């Protein structure tokens, strides 16, 4: 075969190979895209809200409910015994959360305010925790590192009476 003809044949072969594997290539590209997106969001979910780097250790969990009752008014409640214990502190109607310095804490807020169906949120300015406004039965989790010793406030920005303390101890 003359040189020129062979080159044309090569180009044809390449086109043929591409056409043959078009769908396989498309499927692998699709899988790669899905994996990349999953990895991106997976890594992001491991980055605490007051840090820039992912943390690969299991967090302690603090489950908070936003509720209302005629006796208590708007209040946060919790049954998480590991991270939180109820402490009566005047001016704060919600439980005190107690954490060890350096603890990784996932705070899970659920709106269980079936009485008024108000929106609620949870904020801990000291640790950059800010949930969005949650409607009835919505929930959101945020993970932070208790990287400062001291006593800090958490609150709902919609109901100033919904306030509690976070104590971080050595």
Task: Specify the 3-state DSSP secondary structure of 40.
Answer: helix
Q: How far is CA 134 from CA 16, 78, 112, 166, in A?
A: 56, 17, 10, 21
When the beta carbons of 37 and 158 are compared against Cu ion, the nearer one is 158
Residue 169, φ and ψ in degrees, nearest 5 = -115, 155
When the beta carbons of 108 and 120 are compared against Cu ion, the nearer one is 120
Minimum Å gap between C-beta 120 and Cu ion is 3
165 in Cβ contact with 133 (< 8 Å): no
Minimum Å gap between C-beta 89 and Cu ion is 18
Strand partners for 42: none
Rounded-to-integer distance, Cα 64 and Cα 16, Å: 61
**Which string of x and - marks every residue 109-148 that binds Cu ion (by CB under 5 A)?**
-----------x----------------------------
When the beta carbons of 59 and 154 are compared against Cu ion, the nearer one is 154
Minimum Å gap between C-beta 162 and Cu ion is 5
Quick one: which of 159, 164, 166, 168 contacts Cu ion (CB under 5 A)?
159
């Amino acid at each position: 075969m003359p040189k020129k003809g062979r080159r044309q044949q090569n180009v044809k072969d390449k086109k043929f190979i591409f056409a043959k594997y078009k769908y396989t290539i498309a499927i692998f590209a699709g899988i790669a895209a899905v994996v990349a997106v999953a990895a991106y969001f997976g890594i992001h979910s491991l980055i605490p809200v007051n840090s820039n780097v992912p943390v690969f250790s299991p967090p302690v969990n603090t489950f908070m409910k936003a509720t209302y009752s005629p006796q208590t008014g708007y209040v946060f409640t919790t049954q998480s015994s590991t991270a939180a214990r109820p402490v009566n502190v005047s001016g704060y109607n919600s439980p005190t959360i107690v954490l060890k310095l350096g603890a990784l804490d996932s705070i899970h807020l659920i709106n269980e305010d079936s009485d008024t169906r108000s929106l609620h949120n949870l904020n801990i300015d000291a640790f950059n925790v800010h949930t969005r406004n949650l409607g009835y039965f919505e929930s959101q989790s945020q993970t932070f590192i208790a990287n400062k010793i001291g006593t800090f406030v958490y609150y709902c920005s919609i109901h100033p009476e919904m306030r509690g303390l976070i104590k971080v101890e050595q």
